[in-house]
Amino acid sequence: MTINRTVFITGGIRRIGLITSKYLHKNGYNIVTTYDKSAKEAKILHKNLNSIRSNSCEIIKVSLNSKTDYNLLYKKIVKIFGRVDVLINNASKFYPTKINMVNNKSWEDIIDTNLRAPLFLSKYFYPELKKRKGSIVNIIDIHINPPLKDHIIYNLSKAGLLALTKTLAKDLAPSVRVNGVSPGAIMWPESDMNNQKKKKEILSRIALKRIGNPEDIAKAVLFLIKDADYVTGQNINVDGGRKLNM
């Protein structure tokens, strides 16, 4: 009997996370993912993936914050398919925080999801990933260097996630590989959907002169977890050459 490898991806029901969940499932992985408020999207994905391959997807409602019992969450997730081979820290909060907007609420909201959750999930999943010779992939962002204007806390959270990626790659080696993928202009932020001037300005700075596809991120993730046995501590920019003109 073939035992499918299992991926746990946070926030895998919307945008890039959704496409990554579907792409990895198409490539034979069982999927466990989370949602917070998007119950309708979660139900649709659960039905869709399990109709393609029965008993291959489970979705859990959880808020990733300082009150989360990450040890309990880990035990619950491993129990679903009896194993976890890959942890993908994808869930992310993104909104502006100018200096006068910085407060404890916005700090905790963004840091808890973008940095605290990846750290504690990595901590508790490490023994399981070590047993499976698995890997961790963190979804970062090209806009940490140089930082994105007016997004102070977000920039700090993603810069921290890059540092965490490299730190864990050292600390968890040789048993578990840890890498990052940094999307460029893949999907327009929902707040910029109708801002044609801003879209044109961004496209002018991309070497390939187009935005990417969410599947470009999913393909990079699949490469790192399946075909990159000698790669750890790396951060792959999937940005169409945007970093060349930043």
Q: Which amino acids are annotated catalytic?
A: 154
| Alpha carbons 157 and 193: distance in angstroms, whole number | 24
For 209, residues 6+ apart whose C-beta sits below 8 A from its C-beta are 203, 240
Q: Which tokens is 246 given?
A: 């930043």
Helices 15-26 and 214-222 sit at what angle, rounded to 10 degrees?
50
- Strands of the sheet containing 30-35, edge to edge, are 57-61, 30-35, 6-9, 86-89, 135-139, 177-183, 235-238
Going by the DSSP 8-state scheme, the letter that residue 214 receives in this structure is H
Neighbours of 4 (CB within 10 A): 16
Q: Which tokens is 201 given?
A: 């300005």
- Phi first, then psi, for residue 122 (nearest 5°) are -60, -40
